[in-house]
Structure 1
Amino acid sequence: MTERALVIAGFAILCALALGLTTLAHLRPNLLAPLSKVATAALAHRPVRIIAMLCWAWLGWHFLAR
C-alpha cells in the first residue's frame, strides 16, 4: 500500500467515524450530544469564540492562502 493510499484510507476512516458518531448522536441524544448542541454550549463563552476564530484563521492562512 502506497503512502498516498494510506492517507486516503485514514481520511475515509475518520469520515466514516464522524458520520457514525453524528448518526448516533441524532438517534440517541441522551447517550451522545449532537455536535450542534456542543458547539452552541462551547461558543457561548467569549474565550472559546476567540480561540475558534484564531484556529479558523490559521487553517485558512495555511491551507487556502497558497
Structure 2
Amino acid sequence: MTSYVVTVAAYLGVLGLALAVEVVAFATPRLWASFGQVVTWALRRRSTQLGLLLAWWWLGWHWVTQR
C-alpha cells in the first residue's frame, strides 16, 4: 500500500467514526452531544474562533499548493 492509500483510508475511518458518534448522539440526546452542539459550545470563545479559522486556512493553503 502506498502512503496515499493509507492516508485516505485513515481520513475515511475518522469520517466513519464521526458519523457513528453523530448517529448515537441523535439516538440518545441525553448522553451524547451532537456535533452541532459541540461546535456551538466550542465557538463561544474568540480564541477558539481564531484558532479554527487559522486551522482551516492552513489546511486549505496546503491543499491548494499541492495541486
How does the TM-score come out when normalised to structure 2? 0.78
RMSD (Å), alpha carbons: 2.0
Q: Which moved more, 1:9-18 or 1:28-37?
A: 9-18
Which runs of at least 4 in structure 1 moved beyond 3 Å after TM superposition? 3-6, 8-12
**Aligned length, in residue pairs:** 65
How does the TM-score come out when normalised to structure 1? 0.79
Tell me, which stretches of 5 or more residues in structure 1 are unaligned?
none
**Identity across matched positions, percent:** 32
Q: How does 1:1-66 map to 2 (within 5 A)?
A: 2-3=1-2, 7=6, 8-66=8-66
Tell me, which stretches of 5 or more residues in structure 2 are unaligned?
none
